[in-house]
Amino acid sequence: MRNQIDLLAAVTVLGVLEQAYFALQVIYARRKYKISPPETRGHPEFERIFRAQVNCSEYFPIFISLLWVAGIFFHQGAAAASGLLYLCARFQYFHGYAQAPSRRLGPLYASARLLWLLLGLAVVGLLGHFLPLGALVADTALGRQLRRLLGW
């Protein structure tokens, strides 16, 4: 069973480490600009770092849920690759936002597209699991190739 979820687990741990890194950046910015919790206002650079971390944290549960559903019901490799790209886009988003609000937009759009991709993979995988289409498609050449490729 482990080899069926190892990539998903690795991407999940990388995502948790990324979230910890973002939180540490907020701590460092608080110290640099002498802004004590629970204060969230202060130097503009601190506010951008704080906002970037909060934005990334807000989307993390959605990302993890879609990563696992897509990986279990569609294909682990496709979900893990999409997940890695998502984490890279969020890293770029965080650092872009920390520098200037306008630098967050490209990575923001990229990460949103990747979440939509994961949602699409999850939906297709769940449909393939719950609907009896597999038996209808299995006897066609395309169906056999899809089943071999996706492990259905």
Active site residues: 31, 104
Assign 3-class secondary structure to the chain: CHHHHHHHHHHHHHHHHHHHHHHHHHHHHHHHHCCCCCCCCCCHHHHHHHHHHHHHHHHHHHHHHHHHHHHHHCCHHHHHHHHHHHHHHHHHHHHHHHHCHHHHHHHHHHHHHHHHHHHHHHHHHHHHHHCCHHHHHHCCHHHHHHHHHHCC
